[in-house]
Amino acid sequence: MDLIVANWKMNYGGRDSLQLVEGLLERIKEPLPGEAVLCPPATALFMVGDRLKDTPLQLGCQNIFYEKEGAFTGEISPDFTREAGSNYAIIGHSERRQHFDEGPEVSRKVEAALDSGMTPILCVGESLQEREGGKAWAVVRKQLEEALEGINSEKLVGLAVAYEPVWAIGTGKSAQPEDAREMASHIIKELSYMKGLRVLYGGSVKPENIADFMALEEISGALVGGASLKAESFAQLIYWEK
């Protein structure tokens, strides 16, 4: 089943988040053609989660900490996001790797999400320099290895891996479908032992190009940034035509 994920990043507080949700609910009907997940900022999780009850839309969070509780000022417990209704957790997004030097702790976050009953959406991807240097797959493979190290494969059933070429995020540029297909094929082969694996594409996904990526056999969904900030465009992404 296709998985379309809205990452609102640091946009929209509680009121604006609810307004966007209302706009989406006006534009969708059941059953959905796949799964659709909304990931608002942490301060809006409980409000959005309450509104999504008894609707076909699901809740996800943009980040978690790897401990359930304790003296970790400013961090977000996976149990707190789960209590808000989160079924999914975005982990290792390129912006967190870039701005907050995430890396070694990603595996602990993946396991924390699993232990709290959430499905991780593990983000991997290379920079333009790394791609042009012929290191794209080597970089992604290392990210996968670090993120999944020491985690029992039986716990990883249903894992989602979002391939997000860093140079195609928030730039208006998109990787070509063949680039996405090639990387998704590598990921699927590398994680062939994993049951229910889904590979998503993330990188300036919009209504005009989503079909090009979703038509690929190797791609099972999309991680959407800018185009998820408007109800009309995200609804179009949910109902993209095969």
For 225, the enclosing helix (H) or strand (E) is: none
The catalytically annotated residue of 95, 111, 130, 164 is 164
Is the pLDDT at 171 greater than 70, yes or no?
no
* 145/202 Cα distance (integer angstroms): 20
**What CATH number corresponds to the domain at position 81?**
3.20.20.70
Per-residue confidence band for 98, with pLDDT thresholds at 50, 70 and 90:
very high
Tell me the CA distances in angstroms from 49 to 43, 57, 110, 160, 209, one per residue in order. Answer: 11, 10, 21, 21, 29
Number of domains in the chain: 1
Catalytic residue among 93, 130, 186, 218: 93
Note whether 46 and 21 are within 8 A (CB). no
pLDDT tens-digit map of 19-30: 999 999 999 988
C-alpha distances in Å from residue 52, one per residue of 49, 86, 113 = 5, 10, 20
Segment 41-56, tens digit of pLDDT: 999 999 999 999 999 9
Q: Which domain holds residue 216?
A: 3-238
The answer to whether residue 93 is catalytic is yes
Q: Is 164 a catalytic residue?
A: yes
